[in-house]
């Protein structure tokens, strides 16, 4: 599956579940995250999505800088949450932005009976419980 296909499926799942999803396509927007996701009643997630080739994934340096700026501006208010989402073999991996993210250190739901929207909501609640 290509990255565009993964993002398309994520956006579709968000919309089917009553949330909002939008892919951002700007080939000249260096460092711009590529997806906005809003589960119904929850904060905005500004996400960079990557296909995981081995066991690690991460943003480009410029993407990391942009996601860190979002994190700084949100300043703990949690109304906007920067996130990295990896995908490999049908499994989504959720992580706060880092330059190098190890799959087994991410939040993931390895069952296929939960759609992407529900997995993102579970990730959000796991973040809230970790604080």
Highest CATH level, class, for 3-130: alpha beta
Residue 15 has pLDDT above 60, yes or no: yes
Average pLDDT over residues 106-116: 86
pLDDT at 42: 95
Exposure pattern of 99-110 as b/e (b: 16+ CB <10 Å)? Answer: eebebeebbbbe
Give the predicted TM-score (pTM) of the model: 0.93
Residue 96 has pLDDT above 70, yes or no: yes
* Domain boundary assignment for the chain: 3-130
Residues 36-80: tens digit of each pLDDT: 999 999 999 999 999 999 999 999 999 999 999 999 987 778 899
Helices within the chain (DSSP H only): 3-16, 61-74, 116-130
């Amino acid at each position: 599956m290509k990255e565009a296909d993964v993002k398309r499926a994520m956006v579709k799942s968000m919309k089917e579940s009553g949330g909002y999803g939008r892919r951002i396509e700007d080939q000249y927007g260096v460092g711009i995250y590529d997806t906005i996701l809003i589960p119904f009643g929850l904060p905005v997630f500004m996400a960079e999505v990557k296909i995981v080739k081995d066991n690690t994934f991460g943003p480009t340096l410029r993407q990391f800088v942009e996601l860190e700026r979002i994190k700084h501006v949100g300043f703990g208010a949690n109304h906007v949450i920067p996130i990295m989402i990896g995908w490999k073999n049908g499994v989504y991996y959720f992580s706060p932005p880092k330059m190098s993210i190890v799959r087994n250190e991410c939040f993931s739901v390895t069952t296929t009976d939960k759609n992407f929207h529900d997995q993102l909501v579970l990730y959000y609640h796991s973040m809230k419980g970790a604080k």
